[in-house]
Amino acid sequence: MDKKLSRLKLLLAEVADLQAAHNLLNWDLETYMPPAGAQARGHQLATLDSLCHQKFTSDEVGQLITDLKQELADADADSDEARLLKVIAKDYDRATKMPVEYVARLAQLTVRAHESWARARAESNFALFRPDLEEIIEMRKEYISFFPPKEHPYDTLLDEYEPGMKTTEVQRIFAALRSKQIALLQAITHAEQIDDSFLHLNYPQQQQWDFGIQVASKFGYDWRRGRQDKSVHPFSDSFSINDVRITTRIMEDYLPSALFSTMHEAGHGLYELGINQAYERTPLKGGASMGIHESQSRLWENLVGRSKPFWEYFYPRLQETFPTQLGNVDITSFYRGINKVEPSFIRVEADEATYNLHIMLRLELEIAMIEGSIEIKDLPELWNTKVEEYLGITPPDDAQGVLQDIHWSFAGLGYFSTYTLGNLISAQLWEKIGDAIPDLEEQIRQGEFAVLLDWLRSNIHIHGRKYEPQELLQRATGSGITSAPYLRYLESKYSEIYKL
């Protein structure tokens, strides 16, 4: 068995190296690559994807999985070896259903789509992106056809990002949230409104950048194993447990954008940096799911970064950084300002009380696209109608509407719901952490995050993909995913801020 397991690990390590090279080229595409390099980059990514796919789906890998299933049948089901085999078997089953030609074709399409999306967004012209999006939707339908029929065709896409989750389950969770979040929004609308005009002054880029670096450093982000760069749409990526990179987007006329983007992506980065080093170059390296991953980014961005104790430590330092803009703004006004609830067009800038509504409308449109019940040409109008229905506002153009997110350009249908699932999970974890660390607020008030990070490392990060998301959550909190803690958090926080 040891010989076969070693051979399988060697093959998987080579696949991981190819995937890391792919990720590095993709990171460069989003950060430094000149626009004219898109066509060549598409070929490069397609070649790497094809090689990776061929190597992973080889007959040898399949035979080793079959042999090791028999030989590990009586092993401890929780051992790293047994869990590795379980993850590999599922990944292999999915990968072998995809023709290598499809993998290469999708890689080329998504590079082209990224460029057309970026151009369309810059010019606020959906028509420039529409042909590529139509092709992406058809390719995602083709992908679904490779698998046995499920309860809903969207289940196949959802399972890529949130293993085990069903479309009907997400719809049920969202339905329970929607009415309560709309009711909270309506109550806030009738309360005395908050002045956050001080956040919309001119804030020089370098000072914003430096302050964000300071915060991420305090969180525990290891700059020997990571870096931050700028991108149109903030993201994080990992090429190794010891090479995890984040990006941010700086707006000189809106302070929260870069600050909370850095916190958010640092949360993703801390997760990847905390994975068991023994999982390097194996399929166990990575997050359990995108919902679990988002729970980490949203926890650091919101539960920590938008909390009062956090700013009791950091606000004097922020005032020193921006004395002209914030010197006469007291901490209470600042805290209320960064937590202001106001329907807005851009998801990544949305407040906590409206954010999930942005996700719900995207999920509904994605499901409709996969079902074929809407035409892609009508997407801008349908988007605007749903924004009006949920948030009471209408996007003035495509850039602030249907084109604002990058996800469809990389064929990421199935991804969006994990943001809301991440919000729910973050609140579940936060309640558990509060029980485990009774003086957590005081530690945050002192700018100390090591104990919090240690809890997350021990209960979430170190496990990588060893456990499926619901299983990991059960181990960490004692229950599966539920919306109750998140609703308690929102209602408590905003009742205080808006005196409801």
The question of whether 272 is a catalytic residue gets the answer no
Evaluate whether 268 touches 296 at the Cβ level (below 8 Å): yes
Q: What is residue 2's predicted lDDT score, i.e. its pLDDT?
A: 87
| Angstrom distance (rounded) from CA 374 to CA 382 | 9
Tens of pLDDT, residues 403-417: 999 999 999 999 999
- Tokens 């090479």 label which residue? 243
Q: What is residue 73's predicted lDDT score, i.e. its pLDDT?
A: 87
Q: What is residue 1's predicted lDDT score, i.e. its pLDDT?
A: 67
| Angstrom distance (rounded) from CA 184 to CA 69 | 51
Class of domain 167-498: mainly alpha
Q: Where are the domains of the chain?
A: 2-131, 167-498
pTM of the model: 0.93
Tens of pLDDT, residues 158-216: 999 999 999 999 999 999 898 899 899 999 999 999 999 999 999 999 999 999 999 99
Nearest C-alpha neighbor of 352 from the set 177, 203, 231 = 177
The two structure tokens encoding residue 97: 């259903």
Catalytic residue of the set 30, 115, 265, 301:
265
Q: What is residue 453's predicted lDDT score, i.e. its pLDDT?
A: 98
| Angstrom distance (rounded) from CA 128 to CA 36 | 17
Q: Which residue type, as a one-letter code, is found at position 434? A: G
Low-confidence ranges of the chain (pLDDT < 50): none
